[in-house]
Amino acid sequence: MSDINYLKAADLEAAAASLKSASEGAYLAGGMTLLPAIKLGLNQPSDLVDLGGIGALHTITVDGETLVIGAMVNHYQVANSDDVNGRIPALADLAEGIGDPQVRNRGTIGGSIANNDPAADYPAACLGLGATIITNQREIAADDFFTGLLETALEDGEIITAVSFPVPEKAGYAKLQNPASRFALVGVFVSSGAGGVRVAVTGAGASGVFRASDAEAALSGDFSASAIAGASVAEGGMLSDIHAAADYRAHLVGVMAARAVEACG
Per-residue pLDDT of 221-262, as tens digits, reads 999 999 998 777 889 999 999 999 999 999 999 999 999 999
Collect all residues with Cβ–Cβ distance below 8 Å to 83 and sequence separation of at least 6.
60, 61, 62, 67
* Burial bucket for residue 22 (CB in 10 Å: 0-12, 13-18, 19+): middle
* Burial bucket for residue 235 (CB in 10 Å: 0-12, 13-18, 19+): middle
If asked whether residues 42 and 88 sit together in one domain, one would say no
What is the value of pTM for the model shown?
0.96
If asked whether residues 43 and 18 sit together in one domain, one would say yes
- How many domains does one find in the chain? 2
Q: pLDDT digits over 17-70, tens only?
A: 999 999 999 999 999 999 999 999 999 999 999 999 999 999 999 999 999 999
If asked whether residues 16 and 118 sit together in one domain, one would say no
Looking at every residue in the chain, the average pLDDT score rounds to 96
Residue 61 sits in a domain whose CATH number is 3.30.465.10
In the sheet where 139-141 sits, what is the strand order?
60-63, 66-70, 160-166, 132-135, 139-141
If asked whether residues 18 and 110 sit together in one domain, one would say no
The domain boundary, picked from 16, 33, 50, lies at: 50
If asked whether residues 64 and 16 sit together in one domain, one would say no
If asked whether residues 129 and 255 sit together in one domain, one would say yes
**Beta strand pairing status for 184-193 and 170-177?**
antiparallel
If asked whether residues 182 and 94 sit together in one domain, one would say yes
If asked whether residues 62 and 136 sit together in one domain, one would say yes
Residue 34 sits in a domain whose CATH number is 3.30.43
If asked whether residues 254 and 240 sit together in one domain, one would say yes
Range of the domain at 32: 5-50
Nearest to 169 by CA among 58, 87, 67, 247: 87
If asked whether residues 18 and 137 sit together in one domain, one would say no
Phi, psi of 185, deg, nearest 5: -70, -40
Q: What is the DSSP-derived secondary structure letter of residue 146?
A: E
Percent of the chain surpassing pLDDT 70? 99
If asked whether residues 117 and 148 sit together in one domain, one would say yes
If asked whether residues 181 and 240 sit together in one domain, one would say yes
Nearest to 75 by CA among 38, 148, 125, 8: 125
